[in-house]
Chain A
Amino acid sequence: MSTARHPAAERDPIDWAPAHAGVTRLKVHWTDRIAHAFLIFAGLALALFLVAPMVTILAKSVEDRAGEFVGLANFAQYFQTPALMRSIWNSLWVSSLVTVITLPLAFTFAYALTRSRMRWKTLLRNMALVPILAPSLLAAISFIFWFGNQGLLKPLMGDGQIYGAPGIVVSMVFATFPHALMILVTALSLTDARLYEAADSLGTSIARKFFTITVPGAKYGLISAGMVVFTYAISDFGIPKVIGGNFNMLATDIFKLVIGQQDFAKGAVVGIILLVPVAVTYAVDAYVQKRQSALLSARSVPYVPRPARAFDAAMAAFCWVLSVLMLAVLGMAIYASFVKLWPYNFSFSLDHYRLGLVDAGIFPAYLNSLHLAFWCASLGTVFIFVTAYLLEKTRGLDAWRPFVRLMAVLPMGVPGMVLGLGYIFFFVPAANPLHFLYGTLAILVLVTVVHYYSSSHLTAVTALKQIDNEFESVSASLKVPFWRTFFRVTVPVCLPAALDISRYLFVNAMTTVSAVVFLYSPNTVLASVAIVNLDEAGDIGPAAAMASLIVVTSAFVCGLYYFAQVWLDKRTQSWRDP
């Protein structure tokens, strides 16, 4: 065989580079072409369902209602509307306040979990993570039952009102707490006990150790958690919608402008404005993450806290108080869902479920949510994991990869409201060949998977990176096509991570409101959206019932995932722990 190019290679798009350019390229094996085809497909799918909608928002923001190009007129008009301008300020200060309150609470909780010898750590941790299972607006509903006009503890409020900023802030603290806690627990776990031993041998005081070792060690975690909380707060829609009253924020403005006033151009402007703080925080976070990398060496010694009676007791007290408060918030929604007629008749009743949901014809929304969650957790996981695998472990197509990689992490910086808005703009026009997707469950699956793509992708990449990079090389040397190794080795080894992704997608699909609130049709109303609608109609009892259903379902499914994990560990992971 000579170096003369095979005729087939001439037609190959990957093989374009002419020989005289001085670049040698390997011929592409047909099995690799299959990988390339999938990767091109994945990139195109992400371009279509992420980039195109986002670009459409940009386009809409410089058009008037008739679709004529008007430059920055919409922006100018926006900045001259005091009510809208106030929303920016509201969003910023509320989100900042939520961050300032949540971070110390979550840090103390995480500190107690990692650095004390208090008992019941697992229980406390799970109690603190419970809000993740609920749609964010559950907190708002609960606070209304506690402190609203007819709330149990209304007298405590004096002349004050829970509706508006106070309710938004406390609800958001509740909703963001577990997200901050998870990051901070990880940050505080990644410590090297030898640093503390060295400090002890030098006679360092407890306070000095805390400020010279603990805080610097957790610095990146703190920044990261702060960014996550801030972003969550500024882009959340459900909480200000339910408990915000007349207090306007950017996320609710988008909804009002687009759904209420059908003012798409101005909606697009608000969307872009909302994109700015989120993009900034994620840029900061990405920068910080990059610098964090090698904080912990392989030789680090894990920190084992020593018993300290007073400290442990104080930490336990803090955690129990916080956990009980969390459960009180969650419990109130569930309790209220069984109360016959708030606040007049507190006897037990299933009316809100039977009359409020089933007879009112709202129950199918719950089934829709289950469908959505199922498809996201199955198809979404497969797509995300396969794409991550192709990106990390296959070769060739070098120009295309960075694009797909960028697409995979971009959704992190896009608030759900903005993504949903982009979808309307992109899919509603009948001229779009994909218009048929509008109003279907499929588009809800797509928007939800894209919305939660980045975290899932990063989970998959982390798991894949832990696998020896030479598996694919070995397979190729043994003439085994990549998919065989993918199914026989990669998938079994990464199964725990894949289950994590699947669970994450399921729970988020059950609880999400923001992106899907624009995209449902009468046939595809989701449970979380139904809560918004019920609340708007004043049916807060059935709203609580629906929220409770979601929580119970999420909790139940998490339990299933847990047992699936245990079972699979026994069956397929036996090699891990010989």
Chain B
Amino acid sequence: MEYLELSGIRKEFGEFVALKDVALDVHAGEFLCLLGPSGCGKTTLLRIIAGLEVQSAGRIVQAGRDISRLPPMDRDYGIVFQSYALFPNLSVADNVAYGLVNRKVPRAERAARVKELLALVGLPDSGAKFPGQLSGGQQQRVAIARALATSPGLLLLDEPLSALDARVRVRLRGEIRGLQQRLGVTTILVTHDQEEALTMADRIVVMKDGAIEQIGTPAEVYLQPATPFVADFVGKTNLLPAQCSGERRIQVGAQRFECDLDGKTANGAALRIFFRPEDVRVRGVNGSTPNSAAAVVEKIEFLGAYSRITFRLNGIEQPLVADLSVNDMAEFHPRPGDTLRVALPSERLRVFAG
């Protein structure tokens, strides 16, 4: 049995359907990311799990208990909002202890628990301060400590990092992930930041227009996207219209490539192919390399560890991008206007029905 089971979750706001019969299982102890562009329904789904929104239809079972119609007070979760929602007039310690006071936890025990939690989130000495005296990242950690204080079975994080600046965000990603693994608390994080999802999650749920596009591990979502949308949303992608021209052959503009088709694709069927910039090879490529073509370099962006080359292939209108490592760059030192032989390895080309 899964820890959290959502089935047939539907949410309508008047005419607008925010969630279309979403079904989702969350394993006990896993870190799950709901990923999608704004308006895809990910936050609505989280709020439905929290009981802060009411689903129009559907069932939620948490730890074997049907919580579909329970008010938030009767559910078992801790939540952290984008705004943190720390009580500004209470000290950090009082904020963390907020949920404990109501459970008639003895004072000494409470103080010990607050101390333990603040140490856990790396703020052992900040108990006496007010939230306003802390930085955004520190406030975020206090909010997490407060949510964890009552040892909930489920931790809900609603875009918790989006209000922070880039450096703090990267550091907190690791910290939250580490904390979650140490405590083993089942966690659902909502984000629109694919990098955040890829680095933190055990599994990612990619959502679009109120429906789930794909559920998978970060590697699955990145390497084997189930739909063109997922391919495009997660990571940088080249996505091209193509046509099936044989059992293992496709035609893209004037170019022909070999790739793995499922065998059922009819000759002449419209397809779309996709490959990542890092899939493009330049090393050891010559005229006889399969799936190779002459590329005309248009633009080069230096991005530190690698450079992003914008190029065109003969007979294909759309500009394509390739990421070349520092070593590749040193060896081939392409300049705009140069011609470079590139290969698209067939095992890296993914094909979707057009």
Flag if B99 contacts A479 (CB, 8 Å): yes
Query: Which of A24, A573, A578 gathers most chain B CB within 10 Å?
Result: A24
Cα distance, A468 to B82, chains bound together (Å)? 11
B215 CB → nearest A CB, Å: 24
Query: Is A570 part of the binding interface, using a Cβ–Cβ cutoff of 8 Å?
Result: no
Minimum C-beta distance from A571 to chain B (A): 11
Q: Is the Cβ of A477 less than 8 Å from the Cβ of B79?
A: yes
B56 touches A23 (CB 8 A): yes
Instruction: Give Cα A1 to B58, complex, Å.
Output: 16
Given contacts A24-B55, A25-B54, A479-B73, are A3 and B79 in contact (CB under 8 A)? no
From residue A88, how far is it (CB to closest CB) to chain B in Å? 45
Flag if B87 contacts A471 (CB, 8 Å): yes
25 residue pairs of the A-B complex, CB under 8 angstroms, read: A24-B55, A24-B58, A26-B54, A32-B71, A468-B85, A471-B85, A473-B50, A473-B52, A474-B85, A477-B50, A477-B72, A477-B99, A477-B147, A478-B150, A479-B150, A488-B90, A489-B87, A489-B90, A493-B88, A574-B130, A575-B88, A575-B130, A575-B131, A576-B132, A578-B133
CB B53 to nearest CB in A, in angstroms, measures 10
The residues of B that contact A29 with a CB separation of less than 8 Å are 71-74
B288 on the A face (CB < 8 A): no
B65 at interface (Cβ–Cβ under 8 A)? Answer: yes
Partner of A1, one of B50, B66, B71: B66
A572 and B75 CA atoms in complex are apart in Å by: 33
Judging by beta carbons under 8 Å apart, are B73 and A476 in contact? yes
Q: Is the CB of A477 within 8 A of B132?
A: no
Interface residues of A in 427-478 (CB under 8 A from B): 468, 470-471, 473-478
A573 to B90, CA, bound (A): 10
Q: Which residues of A contact B (CB under 8 A)?
A: 1-3, 22-29, 31-32, 468, 470-471, 473-481, 484-485, 488-489, 492-493, 572-576, 578
Q: Least Cβ distance of A273 to chain B in Å?
A: 41
**Smallest CB gap from A9: residue in B:** B69
Contacts of B266 in A (CB 8 A): none
Most chain B beta carbons < 10 A, residue from A26, A27, A29, A476? A26
* A27 in contact with B71 (CB, 8 Å): yes
Q: Which residues does chain B contribute within 8 Å of A31, judged by CB atoms?
A: 73
Which of B81, B87, B149 has the most CB atoms of chain A within a 10 A radius of its CB? B87
- Verify if B77 is at the interface (C-beta below 8 Å from A): yes
| Chain A residues within an 8 Å CB radius of B87 | 471, 485, 488-489
- B interface secondary structure, majority: loop
Q: B88 touching A470 by the CB < 8 A rule?
A: no
Does B333 touch A at the CB level, under 8 Å? no
Given A26-B51, A468-B85, A470-B85, A479-B102 contact (CB < 8 Å): yes
Q: What residues on A are CB-neighbors of B326 within 8 Å?
A: none
Residues of B within 8 A of A480 (CB): 98-99, 101-102
**8 Å CB interface, B144-166 against A:** 146-147, 149-150, 152, 156
- How distant is B186 from chain A, measured CB to nearest CB, in Å? 15
Within 8 A of A (CB), among B68-120: 68-75, 77-79, 81, 83, 85, 87-90, 98-99, 101-103
Q: How far is the CB of A72 from chain B (nearest CB, A)?
A: 41
Please give the distance in Å from B114's CB to the nearest CB on chain A. Answer: 13
Q: Which residues of B contact A (CB under 8 A)?
A: 50-52, 54-59, 65-66, 68-75, 77-79, 81, 83, 85, 87-90, 98-99, 101-103, 129-133, 146-147, 149-150, 152, 156
Which residue of B57, B78, B101 contacts A22 across the interface (Cβ within 8 Å)? B57
Chain B residue nearest in CB terms to A19: B69
Do the beta carbons of B71 and A476 come within 8 Å of each other?
yes
Q: Are A473 and B72 in contact (CB under 8 A)?
A: yes
Let me know if B70 and A26 touch, CB within 8 A: yes
Assess the B71–A24 pair: CB atoms within 8 A: no
Taking A476-B71, A480-B102 as contacts, is the C-beta distance between A489 and B66 under 8 angstroms? no
Closest B residue, CB atoms, query A25: B54
* A574→B50 CA distance, assembly (Å): 33
Inter-chain CB contacts under 8 Å: number: 115
Indicate if the CB atoms of A468 and B83 lie closer than 8 Å: yes
- Nearest-neighbor residue (CB-CB) of A470 within chain B: B85
Bound form: Cα–Cα A135–B330 in Å: 86
Q: Which residue of A lies closest to B64 (CB)?
A: A1
Instruction: Specify the chain B residue showing the minimal Cβ separation from A471.
Output: B85
A26-B51, A484-B102, A572-B89 are known contacts. Are A3 and B72 too (CB-CB below 8 A)?
no
Decide yes or no: A478 and B69 within 8 Å by CB, A470-B85, A471-B87, A575-B130 being known contacts: no
Cα A22 to Cα B59 with chains together (Å): 13
The reply to whether B71 and A478 contact each other, CB–CB distance below 8 Å, is no
Instruction: Check B85 against A473 for contact (C-beta < 8 Å).
Output: yes
Q: Chain B contacts of A2 at CB under 8 A?
A: 66
In the bound complex, what is the Cα–Cα distance between A545 and B21 (angstroms)?
Answer: 75
A575 touches B98 (CB 8 A): no
Give complex CA distance A128, B328 in Å.
77
- For the complex, give the distance between the alpha carbons of A492 and B78 in Å: 25
Asked whether B81 lies within 8 Å of A470 as measured between CB atoms, the reply is: yes
**Known interface pairs A24-B58, A24-B69; 17 further A-B residue pairs with C-beta atoms within 8 A, sorted by A's residue number:** A2-B66, A3-B59, A22-B56, A27-B71, A29-B73, A473-B52, A473-B79, A474-B85, A474-B146, A476-B71, A477-B75, A477-B79, A477-B152, A478-B99, A478-B146, A575-B88, A575-B130
Least distance between B220 CB and chain A CB atoms (Å)? 31
| Chain A residue at minimal CB-CB distance from B71 | A29
What is the minimal beta-carbon distance from A15 to any residue of chain B, in angstroms? 10
CA–CA, A567 to B52, complex, Å?
38
Q: Find out whether the CB atom of A470 lies under 8 angstroms from the CB atom of B89.
A: no
In the complex, what distance in Å separates the CA atom of A475 from the CA atom of B77?
Answer: 11
Query: B54, A24: Cβ atoms under 8 Å?
Result: yes
Bound state CA distance, A479 and B76, in angstroms? 9
- Are B65 and A1 neighbours in the complex by a CB distance under 8 Å? yes
Tell whether, in the assembled complex, residue B57 and residue A24 are in contact, meaning their CB atoms are under 8 Å apart. yes
CB distance from A394 to the nearest CB of B (A): 12
A3 to B58, CA, bound (A): 11
- Chain A minimum-CB-distance residue to B72: A476
**B51 contact set on A, CB distance < 8 A:** 26, 476
B68's partner among A23, A24, A473 (CB-CB below 8 A) is A24
B69 and A578 contact, CB distance less than 8 A: no
Which are the 3 A-B pairs with shortest beta-carbon distances? Answer: A478-B99, A476-B72, A470-B85
Closest to A22 in B: B57
Q: Which residue of B lies closest to A573 (CB)?
A: B89
- B77, B85, B90 — which one has the most chain A CB atoms within 10 A of its CB? B85
Query: B58's closest neighbor in chain A, by CB?
Result: A24
In whole angstroms, what is the CA distance A219 to B176 when docked?
50
In the complex the two chains form, what is the Cα distance from A24 to B73 in whole Å? Answer: 17
Residues of A within 8 A of B69 (CB): 3, 24-27
CA–CA, A226 to B295, complex, Å? 71
Partner of A24, one of B56, B77, B98, B146: B56
Q: Are B147 and A578 in contact (CB under 8 A)?
A: no
C-alpha spacing A2/B59, complex, angstroms? 10
Q: Tell me which residues across on chain A come within 8 A of B57, comparing CB atoms.
A: 22, 24
Question: For A575, what are the chain B residues with a Cβ–Cβ distance below 8 Å?
Answer: 88-90, 130-132
| Beta-carbon nearest neighbor of A5 in chain B | B69
Query: Which chain A residues lie closer than 8 Å to B54 at the CB level?
Result: 24-26
Taking CB atoms, residues of chain B closer than 8 Å to A481 are: 73, 102
CB distance from B259 to the nearest CB of A (A): 46
Chain A residues near B66 (CB, 8 Å)? 1-3
Contacts of B52 in A (CB 8 A): 473, 476
Bound form: Cα–Cα A471–B85 in Å: 6
Contacts A470-B83, A473-B85 given; indicate if A478 touches B98 (C-beta within 8 A).
yes
State which of B70, B81, B83 has its C-beta within 8 Å of the C-beta of A27: B70
Smallest Cβ-Cβ distance to B51: which chain A residue: A26
Assembly CA distance A3 to B51 (angstroms)? 15
CA A192 to CA B156, docked complex, whole Å: 40
| A419→B51 CA distance, assembly (Å) | 43
**Contacts A24-B54, A493-B88 given: A477-B77 contact, CB under 8 Å?**
yes
Q: Which residue of A lies closest to B79 (CB)?
A: A477
Nearest CB in chain B: distance from A303 CB, A: 27
Contact present for A474 and B81 (CB under 8 Å): yes
Q: Which residues of the partner chain A approach B72 to less than 8 Å between Cβ atoms?
A: 29, 473, 476-477
- Which residues of A sit under 8 angstroms from B79, Cβ to Cβ? 473-474, 477
